[in-house]
Structure 1
Amino acid sequence: MQVLVRDNNVDQALRVLKKKMQREGVFREMKARRSYEKPSERRNREAAEAVRRARKAARKQAIREGLIAAPKKKPMVGRGRPEASPGAPQADVAK
């Protein structure tokens, strides 16, 4: 895995690296390998994961077909825009 550091911005490169590792499942793998998992526990966990994946796929399919309503999206508040956050004072702009 390789991440480029641009303009000596190590913090941004670290964020990118962590995101890549998260997407690849490295952190989950490290957590799983901390202790021994019995084969029976592994089978049970994998079966539960398969059930979760199947339910998620069925739910997405039902939403696409219009059988159930899609979940309401949360409004994005305070994403780098201080004027959009509810507690920030409103700027007076003359137009």
Structure 2
Amino acid sequence: MRILVRDNNVDQALRVLKKKLTREGVLRELKRHRASEKPSERKTREKAEAVRRARKLARKKAQREGLLPMPKPKASASSRVPFPRGQGGSPTS
């Protein structure tokens, strides 16, 4: 995994790294391995993960069958217009 640091902006690079680690579930795995897990906690966690997977599959199936609207396509990186560097704040300021 690579994170580019632009204009010596380490804070932004750290934010990007944390977001990527969270999205891939690495932080959750680290937290799980930090301490031993009681069997009841493990069963609860595994059951919750199974429910999450089943809901995701059901949602995808409903979208394919036309019962739910398809998700909006994400804008590609080339079509997005970045804000000028060095100017923080909201885009409307």
* Alignment TM class, shorter chain as reference: 0.5 to 0.7
Identity of aligned residues (%): 69
What is the number of equivalent residue pairs in this alignment? Answer: 75
Distance in 2, matches of 1:27 and 1:8, equals 25
Cα RMSD of the aligned pairs, angstroms, is 2.8
1:34 offset after TM fit, Å? 4.6
Residue 11 of structure 1 corresponds to 11
Which of residues 71, 82, 86 in structure 1 aligns to 2:92?
82
Structure 2 unmatched runs, 5+: 73-89
Query: Who wins on radius of gyration, i.e. which is larger?
Result: 1
Structure 1: any 5+ residue segments left out of the alignment? 74-79, 84-95
Tell me the TM-score normalized by structure 1. 0.57
TM-score using structure 2 length:
0.58
Give the Cα–Cα distance (whole angstroms) in 1 for the partners of residues 48 and 23 of structure 2.
Answer: 21
Divergent runs of 4+, >6 A: none
